[in-house]
Structure formats: structure tokens, C-alpha cells
Chain A
């Protein structure tokens, strides 16, 4: 342990961790001050920040399971950080507390006045009521935490001994776990996002969230590579242009999939043109009149889809460490904006949506994000100095070799 402190002087990860703790504490302090003035603004800003940050552990879990199932050299470069992210889920459960406390400012079904006035809300109250809401949240977190804990402990064991039986076990758990994860994220999105506009229903919204969260975790794991490579020379050697090419292609795939499922929901609502569905998009600036949210939507369309799409088409761009990690950082910021566009325009404090943007939104994002990053680095350090996951299949070798060829061609 003592070598960690001596090392930390020229260790960018340690520096970032300290900055994150400071920024996180400052953000939360601003949030608490804001809470004295406006409960509604505080809790809405908090829900946004918490729900965005939750995407990192859930997406990390999804990527770890995907990699157990598919293998491939790309995953060896990012799986250990993804597993460390997944292991922050218990911390996210603690951070759920303000959401539980602030229900009445967040969800129309938890507001007595709204409930009395709205027949749809009364119909929904058999499912959307505080008791069931909390029980479901407990259920989601129990399943997520167990999945993360079991997979990560087996992966650590495998890292040490390379036991074939663990490999099979991790694959079996991942196959069922991935299905369970998408199902639970869908239900959780109904609870924490969709129920904020009681009249809107979409069965694909949970899948949009799942894809978005996987993308969040993927770009997060790539964006922090410059912080990790100085710690582990093996990782520095491992991240070749061929690996970057694969990671770039995976970002491209997720960006396309996100655009596809997001647009398909808009298209269905647009073609249906039904009065209980369209307000969702009217509140988000897509409709006959442009609002400030239209500007946000256009930003998301441009920088969450078109710009990364065209950059990632180029092999020269995605094989450059600096370009790919910068792009990943930019996409992470766009993920935060996309979740903002998803969550902020709804709310219980004004009858039908149109919550005003709060000055607390950004401090809360930095607050929850900073604290989360601090915990993430703590967990990552406990994994030890080696950050390249052990090879899982013999097919890996073949894939790595093929990837190496692509790199050699470009060089």
C-alpha cells in the first residue's frame, strides 16, 4: 500500500481522483444549499444527475457480460475498468436515497393533488405507488448488485488462475444476466423516467436507455485510458491501433444503434399522432414550435450521432489514441446532454411537464459524478496494478491476429 502513495505524485489517476472528490463535495454542497430554497429544483436536478451516473455501472456490467459472451481482444483493454464501474452499484443504491425522499417532487403519481385531479394517474396507481416503487427499486438493485458481485469475483479468480470452469460459469451467467439486465433497465426506466409523464407510454424507451448506458460506459472506459496507461505498461503495450480500431467500431455500432432505436420511438409517435403520446416530444422541442429544447435536440442529433458517425468511418481517425479518447470524452458529455433532454423536460412540479431548467442541474451532475468517480477509482485500485484482462478464449488469439493485420495495413 505504501508504494501507492509514493506513486501517486506522478499518477494522473490519483490526481483526478482527488479533484473528483473535491468537485463532488462542492457540487453536493451547492445542491444542499439549493435544497433550502427549492425542493423541486434540487430533487429534479438530483434525479437527472443520479440517473445519468447510474448508466456508467449498468453499462459497465453490460459490456463485461457482452465480452464474456463474445470474447475478442477489444474487451481485454476495457473490461477491468468496466467491472470496477459495475462494482459501484452498491454506492448508487446509497445515492438512490434522495430520489426516494423526493418522490413527491419527481413523479406526478406521488403528488396527492395531481393524483386527485387525474383519472389516468389514479388508474396507474396500482403499479405506480410509493410502496411498490421502492420495492421494485430494491429488487432491481438486488439483482444488479448480485450479478456484478458474482461476475467480478469470478473474473478476479480467473485473472489469477485461469480456470476453464470459471470461464464456462461466467459465460452462462452472462447469457442469462444480459437478458435480465435489459429487462430490469426497461422496468427501471419506466419507474424513474417515463412515469414522470404519466400519459406517455413507450415500450422501447427501456431499450433506448440500455443502449445509451452501454455507450456511456464504453466511452467512459475509453476516455479514461490516458489516465490508466501510465499506471500499467502492459496496458500501454496492449492498446495498439488494431485494438483502438475495434473499440472505435464498437462506439460506432452503439452510436448507430442508439440513433436507430431513439428515432424509431419518435417515428412511431409522429405517425400515430395521438394526444397522449405527442406531449413527450412537444416538451422536448420537437413539434411545430421551436423551443430551447429544440436547440438541445439538434445538438444531440449532431454531436451524439452525425459528427461521431462520420469521424468513426475513418480508419485513420479511430486508430489514433488521442483522437479516439478525445472523441470518447466528447461523446460522454453528449450522453450527459441526451439524458438531460430525456429527464429534465418532465416533472411533477408543473402540471404537464415544462419544468424550467435549474441552476442546480450542473452542480448536481458534477457532485454525483465526482463522488462516483472517487468511489470508482478506489474500487479500480483494489483490483491491483494489472489492467489488461486475461485472455478468455483461444479464438481471442485469432481475432487479435486479424486485428493486428488491420493495424499493420494502416501503418
Chain B
């Protein structure tokens, strides 16, 4: 850990076309950088694969929350109508399972939806009022309009300020900027 590393967030390279961005992202991935991110004004097809992004655990969280919701709902209804307060409704048995299914389904969906939303927020750290990338004026002005960026985090194990800078320069970007914290 050098002193230079601690006061910068990372390096940011700017490109002028989505094709250049993808080509650069592939080289960054192949060079072994992992803590990277790319920014573009519109969804660029194949960018996630080019960056080598791993699939997130949101799907697993969603599944588990959905199962909890379903089991919780069925268990709640079973407990209340079989154990706590058995009641003869139109001659049906206390464990009237077809009647339990709609609520079980609803709470499965509810659990899964909360799992997906809160799991996503927990994993990506949003909402985030401050991000160092906006310290770069060109990023603030152009990232959502007409330019394409790749950022390499200083926390990346392969990050070495001068080497990484030289590597990014070799990708023929428009600019390479240091991102202050």
C-alpha cells in the first residue's frame, strides 16, 4: 500500500464509442483486473460479459426469501386453523389445504419481491449520495450523455498506479484521469 494509493479512488479511462468500450473492457478483464466498472449513457450489449462480471447472489436471496414467505404463510394458516382455533367451516376439514394455497402463493411472491429489492440494495450499496467518480468533471458532464468510461478501483490487487495508468493508456482512450477520493 503506497501513500499515493490511499488518496485516490482509482483510474478512469474515457472512450468515445461503445465498441471501443467493449474492446477495452475485454482487455482490462484479460489483464486480470477484477474490481472494475464501466459506465455508458445507454445499455451496451455484451458489456457485462466483456468486463467478466460474476452473476450476483440476488437470485439466491430472492429464492430463499420466497421460500421463507411461502412456508411462513402456510405454517401460519396451518397453526391458526388446525392447532390454535380449529373451526368447522362448511364441513371442510381444519387442514383445508386448497384454501391455504392462494395466501401461500401471495406471501411467496411478497417475500421474493422484498428479497429481490432489499437484497439488491444490500449488495450494491445504494442509495449512495457521494461517489468519488463525480470528482472527475468530464465524468460528471458526459457519463450519462455521450461518453463511455472504464474505472479500475485502487483496491484491486493488481492496481499499481503507474503500471495501471500505462496499461490504460495503451488501450487508446480519449483520456485517463486519476480519481481523487
CB distance from A306 to the nearest CB of B (A): 12
B99 at the A/B interface (Cβ < 8 Å)? yes
Which residue of chain B has its CB nearest to the CB of A286?
B98
A263 at the A/B interface (Cβ < 8 Å)? yes
CB distance from B102 to the nearest CB of A (A): 7
**Contact between B90 and A409, CB atoms less than 8 A apart:** no
**Contact between A273 and B93, CB atoms less than 8 A apart:** no
Pick the contact of B45: A266, A267, A273, A401 (CB < 8 A): A401
Determine the chain A residues whose CB is within 8 A of the CB of B101 once the complex forms.
263, 267
- In the assembly, what is the distance between CA of A351 and CA of B90, in Å? 27
**Contact between A271 and B45, CB atoms less than 8 A apart:** no
A288 at the A/B interface (Cβ < 8 Å)? yes
B76 at the A/B interface (Cβ < 8 Å)? no
Determine the chain B residues whose CB is within 8 A of the CB of A401 once the complex forms.
45
Which residue of chain B has its CB nearest to the CB of A411?
B49
Determine the chain B residues whose CB is within 8 A of the CB of A295 once the complex forms.
none
A-B contact count (CB 8 A): 27
- Mask, B42-82, CB within 8 Å of A = 1, is 00011011000000000000010000000000000000000
Determine the chain B residues whose CB is within 8 A of the CB of A271 once the complex forms.
98-99
CB distance from B54 to the nearest CB of A (A): 11
Given contacts A263-B101, A267-B99, A267-B101, whether A288 and B48 have CB atoms under 8 Å apart is no
Pick the contact of A405: B45, B90, B96 (CB < 8 A): B45
Query: What class of interface size applies to chain A in its complex with B?
Result: 10 to 19
- In the assembly, what is the distance between CA of A287 and CA of B168, in Å? 70
Considering only residues 1-52 of chain B, those with a C-beta below 8 Å from chain A are: 45-46, 48-49
Determine the chain A residues whose CB is within 8 A of the CB of B49 once the complex forms.
405, 408-409
Which residue of chain A has its CB nearest to the CB of B91?
A273
- In the assembly, what is the distance between CA of A401 and CA of B90, in Å? 56
- In the assembly, what is the distance between CA of A405 and CA of B63, in Å? 24
CB distance from B121 to the nearest CB of A (A): 23
- In the assembly, what is the distance between CA of A405 and CA of B93, in Å? 51
**Contact between A270 and B91, CB atoms less than 8 A apart:** no
Determine the chain A residues whose CB is within 8 A of the CB of B131 once the complex forms.
none
**Contact between B92 and A270, CB atoms less than 8 A apart:** yes
8 A-B contact pairs sorted by A residue (CB < 8 Å): A266-B98, A267-B99, A267-B101, A267-B102, A273-B90, A408-B46, A408-B49, A409-B49
6 further contact pairs, Cβ within 8 A, besides A270-B99, A271-B98: A270-B98, A271-B99, A288-B93, A401-B45, A405-B45, A408-B46
Question: Which residues on B are within 8 Å of A, measured CB to CB?
Answer: 45-46, 48-49, 63, 90-93, 96, 98-99, 101-102
* 4 nearest CB pairs, A to B: A270-B98, A267-B98, A408-B49, A409-B49
